[in-house]
Structure 1
């Protein structure tokens, strides 16, 4: 017996987003940045420089800089965040690297929720932030033909 395709029902808490959206990271003081929505990626990632681990109250923390604007490395936001995890992540070119993971809030449109976010150099990538499926699961539906449905 061949299975029937099932269209998931949209819950009241879900909203539709495009394949790219403007997002904010309010806990990090980050200005708006363009994020690519990537359901092929499990984990979300943000472009971070000068990542330095340090200890604070017996916990592992990181100092780093965010460069939220594409093609602009002069505007920098100094940040500190507690390390939530360290994970092996396979990049789009197949390379596996160990990355720090922080837990921070994501603001997308009028909604805000916590996400896990890896810190990585995304110099060669077109977007300074990538939103993976774990951060979006159960909250959003994606219209692959649309952009900036949550505002621009």
Structure 2
């Protein structure tokens, strides 16, 4: 326990020595002259002084302005090749129908599952115990043409519902449709829509696995060739 008094004395002695050194280095006070050696006169020792303060100016950082340019890629139209066995159709095409031998301006309707034909004077009847339908077709582009009467067996009946209209029960028959050089036998439902601009709506049952549609074009295939044409 005697260590603490000893340590206290050591700290006090160190503080006294430090104060004495501080007084020696204080400006205005002269350091004690050194004793002359071997009889020579002692020379004056200049008073210890701190160096004058120097003002330092930090250089301003260099600022670089970087202009960022964002280049946007322009849209390009890319033509996608279509398989050689696919028929390219526009939104409107001329279709030849059989029986009837008519060429009708038709609307290609990808939303319709079955093709639809506007006919007049729909008359159901029975033949050999089976349902048949008699109807008339006219080409709206041929004002003076006589209507064509067609009789076909009914394959089945479908009920079609359109927004804003009552549901209709329509007979379905098989007809041959020709667009360009391609002919398909497909089911067509019959209805009387009056005198529409497009008496035939070509549905997906004709387009499936046979054609692709470019809605930005019309009459891509031109007028189809009838069976009697060479």
Report the TM-score when normalising by structure 2.
0.57
In the alignment, does 2:127 pair up with 1:127? no
Preserved contact between residue 120 and residue 194 of structure 2 (Cα < 8 Å): no
Partner of 2:11: none
2:91 aligned with 1:19? yes
Higher RCO, 1 vs 2 (CA within 8 Å, ≥6 residues apart):
1
Residue 30 of structure 1, CA deviation: 3.2
Question: What's the secondary structure of 2:154's corresponding residue?
Answer: strand
Deviation at 1:44? 1.1
- Counterpart of 1:112 in structure 2 is 183
Counterpart in the other structure of 1:53: 124
Question: Do 2:121 and 2:135's aligned partners in 1 also have CA atoms closer than 8 Å?
Answer: yes
Q: Render the CA deviation track for 1:108-144: whole Å, top value 9, x for unaligned.
A: 1111111110111122632111111122111100010
More helix by share: 2
Aligned pair 1:62/2:133, yes or no?
yes
Q: Which moved more, 1:9-18 or 1:74-83?
A: 9-18
Q: CA RMSD in A?
A: 2.2
Higher strand share: 1
Deviations 1:9-46 (A, max 9, x none): 844321101001000112x2231000000111112111
List runs of 5+ in structure 1 lacking aligned partners.
1-7
Change (3 A) 1:32 1:15: same
Q: What 5-or-longer segments of structure 2 have no aligned partner? A: 1-79, 224-230
Following the alignment from structure 2 to structure 1, what is the Cα–Cα distance between the partners of residues 163 and 85? 31
For these two proteins, the number of residue pairs brought into alignment is 144
SS in 1 for 2:156: strand
- Cross-structure match for 1:103: 174
Which is higher, the Rg of structure 1 or of structure 2?
Answer: 2
Q: Is the 8 A contact 2:140 2:197 kept in 1?
A: no
TM-score in terms of structure 1 length? 0.84
Write the distance in 2 (CA, Å) between the matches of 1:81 and 1:119. Answer: 11
